[in-house]
Structure 1
Amino acid sequence: MQKQRAHRGRHGPELLDSRTTRFRLWAPDARKVSLIVVGAQTLPMIADEDGWYSIEAPYGAGTLYRFLIDDELEVPDPASRAQAGDVHAPSLVVDPDDYLWRNAEWRGRPWHETVLYEMHAGLYGGFAAMEAHLADLAELGVTAIELMPIAEFPGDRNWGYDGVLPYAPEAAYGSPEELKHLIDTAHGLGLMVFLDVVYNHFGPDGNYLGRYARHFFRHDQQTPWGDAIDFRRGEVRDFFIDSALTWLLDYRFDGLRLDAVHAIPDRSFLTELAERVQAAVEPGRHVHLVLENEDNRASLLTQGFIAQWNDDGHNVLHTLLTGERQGYYADYHPDTTDKLARFLGEGFVYQGQNNRRGEARGEPSAHLSPTAFVLFLQNHDQTGNRAFGERLISLTDPHALRAATALLLLSPMVPLLFMGEEWGARQPFLFFTSHHGELADAVREGRRGEFAEFAEFADEHTRERIPDPNAVSTFEDSRPDFGSRREPGHAEWHALYRQLLQIRHAEIIPRLPGARFLGAQVLGEAAALARWRLGDGSELRLELNLGATAVPVSVASAAAQLLFASRELPNAPCGQLPARTALLYLEKSS
């Protein structure tokens, strides 16, 4: 076992020795700041330059503290490393060097080996309880788990995107030590661990920054969550970059997924974050930065970010699998098959074309590696943002879903699975929070109002059937039945995912470095042929038909090996691709 030296940033407490801590707060709009040591004393902090306050106090790990602003408002440390309860509770001094790592020599895995599995820590019962599921995921063929946001949020039930303390693990999920143990255990099984981080906004409850540091925000730019964060300020940039480094260095996460960076107006913040992460990580260690970006800025994927969640790929596949056309799926309904071919052959669908609102979106992407795209059929957003949280297995034909799953797990893009998907879980994944009072009412009505433009929810009484996000039952109904994967109706799906991932590890992953797009062509309604050149010179060929009728297709080369057929084809005529079928061939280089 080995201790590791923690990251030392400017924000938050710094343990100088076992009995002394330096406390710091950037509060340029405060006239006075004091340190409240719970159960002990209140100490005036020293005003330094540029709005900083600091004090070295004779208190070590385990100390509970708050800051007192202008003798009138008690607040937690915005860079708290742990909370003694919820976001309004005292902050807790922790020793970031105290954990003894069992797998200290772990250096991660190269990106092309990634098979992601998205998880919600609360639905598993917290960090400690999640560990019991890791061996099964590794055996299935998953190589990386991705935690939905765990930064401290109000209440104990939340998706995590309402976080307000971006350095502190959610107390309802467990302690910092339990989180490190989870990551340590995953590494021992060969699993990377990614974290979804939210650096584009703060949640509405528990964020006091506007009272004493109003320059954290800029009123001239708005996001869906209010005033934009002002990344022009060095202190603000440092606050979030130090948060990222804390997760990557103190907790040894293997990568971060940055949520909704299209809501971050200052692109230079993103490139600076990537540069500073690269500079801080020890040589030889694999750390990966992944984006969610509705703007499809392909250029960021050559500036320190290794991949982006491919919403375009999901959306066009979902449109074909379900026939849904409302909301953002309207952007994928006209010329859907052409858009399927563009996604398969070039990565993004929108590469500068106008969306349904007449707005140009995206940048050219065909020059990127296919591994620059994280592909998924389901995730927290695409399932949970449905009114009733239905999973895809309840919405489409099973043969079409098998075909799409073959694409997901055998294409050169990096696959992401959503918890329970691999055994065909049918429990919904709903939007849940644990707000109270007026905020709870506003969230409930806001949630129902989101669906007012949908024809099936035009009636107010129908919208009232949408589950209340704040009800405990909404959270409990979202918990997958983890024990059902070997039951009839589920075991078949689990076996399919295992088979496909075995093929991926044996035939696809070793050939991914250097892979590139070779384009795609339309075969017929909802059907396309795509090809990729793999790094060893081999060619991967996908014949995909998500439609209801067979389509003509050129016959694969006699030298091509059939890797997988999504359904039995004993009587399929030569040159015809049956309905709801995927075939994948590999023609190896000579």
Structure 2
Amino acid sequence: MWQFGLWAPDVKSAQVELDGTRLSARSAPDGWWHLSAPAHAGQHYMWVLDGAAYPDPAARAQAGDVHAASVLVDPAYNWQAQWRGRSIPEAVIYELHVGTFTAQGTFAAAAEELPRLRELGVTMIELMPLAQFEGDRGWGYDGVLPYAPHPAYGSPDDMRAFIDAAHAHGIGVLLDVVYNHFGPSGNYLGAWCPSFFHPERASPWGAGIAFETPAARAYFIANAQHWLEEYQLDGLRLDAVHAIEDHSPTHFLDELGKQIRARAYDRPIHLVTEDERNLTRYFTPQAPYDATWNDDWHHAVHCLLTGEDESYYAPFAHDPVGDIATALADGYVEQGQPRVNGDAHPRGEPSAQLPGTAFVNFLGNHDQVGNRARGERLHQLVDDGHAYRVMTALTLLAPFTPMLFMGDEFLTSAPFQFFVDFTGDLAEAVRKGRAQEFARFSSFGGAVPDPVSARTFRDSKIGRPETQAQRDHLEFVTHLLTLRARHVTPLLARVPSPEATVDRRDDLIDVCWSFAPGTIHMRGAFGPNAAFVPHPDPALLLTDGSSPFALSATFSPE
């Protein structure tokens, strides 16, 4: 017998249509409807609510697009890898969009690339959102069926096979999940369950979810457990948690973290957030979350290398070398202090007490690249290639959690542009909105590729290294990650919160992290006003007569 359940407090009747036969569900307390019925995996079904048929909002798969019937899926899978997980100190994260990572854009094709990522030194893949969305092409943040892997990439078992293969190569897999909104097409919850939303509240991307309602909270908590248990994932990255508005006595984020930590898993589970508020309480040793995306690091480096100073870059353009020094010491740059060109209400909290591993540092990600009009990557904007190498080394070797955006490891020539597969009025609205968004920016702006065109999607596929410069950079990044695995990871595994001493003089930064015992020393020149003298016998030395940038690094014990 299969068990069907749905929270639908706003309807008067509920049925399950199973391969064309309608079976009446019974009403239960608190707005629930239940049905037990004989069925089998692969059967199509829909919920019929007050006479209208809808896909299951917790469907594990669809018979077609987001408007079609749902499909019963057996979660059983014959896992092959003997996997016990990866720790956070080991983490080298690789953000990956399945559709543009390979020419085929599938889980199966991505699995073929796993040996390359292992050889590169990647220990964790972070998959961009997979919840099924309208059409074939998209970033994934317009998902409307959070339990169903997007079918353009493959079946649920294809996704499981990819994760199993990653584990066999020693690579953990995280999934980016979106709990702050639903996409604009195919979200039928509002039609039959207005109680799931707050009519007077909205996120930047859609109707505000009623997280104060127990059933709404349970829907997303069960979703997190679904991915971790039915797909053996190693963790989750929670998108834009600052947009989750919840006035409950216990915030949804706290309950989600507590519920996950209360379950016994046979491997470490890692919870990572994206949170523009620069809060700290979620990442203390007693808190349920492990790490957060550190946009401050990206912004400071970006401003230093490009000179851009518009929009959210403005505070970081004032003294990017000083901001980099602050980030090397404390993790966050913005910690509640007033900032030149900053907001009237400063963001952030003091962060020096947090483990270094709590900060996910990167030179690019889907947002910072794709939210430019033309989707240029940092290496495509920088004139001084040696400066980019120096900042790459600093990002990958500093005792924080490094992340690479797919393709950056070999200086891909592909952009990462914004693309969707909408039709009709929605497609036109996205086109117009995208053009208007960048009209006022000189550095972000320019001609905006058509987000609805399949060409925009194809142009974003990263390809493979073809030039000598690309192969050289791939070899360089591989060398850096070998140094990290040999010298940095063992120190972080023993002492996740080293004591940092940072000395900044003009464009020179000298930093020492003490692990007692063991140290990491780095000295960098980040502009023309730096009297750079390398360490004696450094493990890494980067200098170039054509660039004012330089870096040396030593590690002890060896």
Counterpart in the other structure of 1:529:
510
Tell me if the contact between 1:370 and 1:517 (Cα under 8 Å) persists in the aligned partners. no
Question: Is residue 354 of structure 2 the alignment partner of residue 368 of structure 1?
Answer: yes
Provide TM-score, normalisation by structure 1: 0.89
Q: Which amino acid aligns with 1:41?
A: T
Deviation at 1:148, TM superposition (A): 0.4
Counterpart in the other structure of 1:10:
none
Write the mapping of 1:110-509 to structure 2, written as runs, cut at 5 A.
110-123=87-100, 124=102, 125-266=105-246, 268-282=251-265, 284-302=266-284, 303-354=287-338, 356-396=342-382, 397-455=384-442, 465-482=447-464, 485=465, 487-509=467-489
Q: Partners in 1 of 2:191 and 2:327 — Cα distance?
A: 46
Q: Secondary structure at the match of 1:469?
A: coil
Deviation at 1:68, TM superposition (A): 1.4
Write the mapping of 1:33-52 to structure 2, written as runs, cut at 5 A.
33-38=14-19, 40-52=20-32
Q: Secondary structure at the match of 2:151?
A: coil
Q: Secondary structure at the match of 2:468?
A: coil
Deviation at 1:326, TM superposition (A): 1.1
Counterpart in the other structure of 1:96:
75
Deviation at 1:77, TM superposition (A): 0.5
Q: Partners in 2 of 1:455 and 1:118 — Cα distance?
A: 28
Deviation at 1:553, TM superposition (A): 5.4
Deviation at 1:414, TM superposition (A): 0.9
Tell me if the contact between 2:359 and 2:400 (Cα under 8 Å) persists in the aligned partners. yes
Tell me if the contact between 1:383 and 1:389 (Cα under 8 Å) persists in the aligned partners. yes
Q: Which amino acid aligns with 2:54?
A: V
Provide TM-score, normalisation by structure 2: 0.94
Tell me if the contact between 2:512 and 2:521 (Cα under 8 Å) persists in the aligned partners. yes
Deviation at 1:360, TM superposition (A): 2.2
Deviation at 1:546, TM superposition (A): 2.5
Change (3 A) 1:432 1:517: farther
Counterpart in the other structure of 1:581:
550
Tell me if the contact between 1:539 and 1:587 (Cα under 8 Å) persists in the aligned partners. yes
Change (3 A) 1:169 1:457: closer
Q: Which amino acid aligns with 1:128?
A: A
Q: Partners in 2 of 1:444 and 1:47 — Cα distance?
A: 44
Deviation at 1:307, TM superposition (A): 0.5
Tell me if the contact between 1:368 and 1:516 (Cα under 8 Å) persists in the aligned partners. no
Q: Which amino acid aligns with 2:275?
A: N
Change (3 A) 1:119 1:457: closer
Deviation at 1:394, TM superposition (A): 1.4
Q: Partners in 2 of 1:216 and 1:398 — Cα distance?
A: 50
Structure 2 residue aligned with 1:567, among 523, 543, 551? 543
Change (3 A) 1:456 1:491: closer
Q: Secondary structure at the match of 1:544?
A: strand
Counterpart in the other structure of 1:540:
520
Q: Secondary structure at the match of 1:319?
A: helix
Q: Secondary structure at the match of 2:469?
A: coil
Counterpart in the other structure of 2:64:
85
Deviation at 1:292, TM superposition (A): 0.5
Deviation at 1:354, TM superposition (A): 4.3
Deviation at 1:408, TM superposition (A): 1.2
Tell me if the contact between 2:177 and 2:239 (Cα under 8 Å) persists in the aligned partners. yes
Q: Partners in 1 of 2:245 and 2:219 — Cα distance?
A: 16
Deviation at 1:300, TM superposition (A): 0.8
Please list the CA deviations of residues 40-81 of structure 1 after superposition, one character each: whole Å capped at 9, or x if unmatched: 31122111111111111121211101111211x321110111
Q: Which amino acid aligns with 1:434?
A: D
Q: Which amino acid aligns with 1:533?
A: S
Please list the CA deviations of residues 557-588 of structure 1 after superposition, one character each: whole Å capped at 9, or x if unmatched: x6xx512112368xx9xxxxx72112112243
Counterpart in the other structure of 1:14:
none
* Structure 2 unpaired stretches of 5+: none
Aligned positions, number = 545
Q: Partners in 2 of 1:554 and 1:175 — Cα distance?
A: 56
Counterpart in the other structure of 2:491:
511
Identity among equivalent pairs (%): 44
Deviates more, 1:358-367 or 1:211-220: 211-220
Q: Partners in 2 of 1:112 and 1:579 — Cα distance?
A: 32
Q: Partners in 1 of 2:514 and 2:424 — Cα distance?
A: 57
Q: Secondary structure at the match of 2:413?
A: coil
Could you list the runs of 4 or more consecutive aligned residues of structure 1 that deviate by over 3 angstroms after TM superposition?
Answer: 455-458, 553-556
Q: Which amino acid aligns with 1:79?
A: A
Q: Secondary structure at the match of 1:344?
A: helix
Q: Secondary structure at the match of 1:53?
A: strand
Q: Partners in 1 of 2:69 and 2:94 — Cα distance?
A: 34
Q: Partners in 2 of 1:423 and 1:296 — Cα distance?
A: 31
Deviates more, 1:327-336 or 1:378-387: 327-336
Deviation at 1:520, TM superposition (A): 2.1
Q: Which amino acid aligns with 1:331?
A: P
Q: Which amino acid aligns with 1:342?
A: T
Q: Partners in 2 of 1:318 and 1:530 — Cα distance?
A: 20
Q: Secondary structure at the match of 1:231?
A: coil
Tell me if the contact between 2:373 and 2:444 (Cα under 8 Å) persists in the aligned partners. no
Tell me if the contact between 1:563 and 1:586 (Cα under 8 Å) persists in the aligned partners. yes
Q: Which amino acid aligns with 1:370?
A: G
Deviation at 1:486, TM superposition (A): 5.3
Please list the CA deviations of residues 261-316 of structure 1 after superposition, one character each: whole Å capped at 9, or x if unmatched: 0011237211111111112232x511100010000111111211000111000111
Change (3 A) 1:187 1:348: same
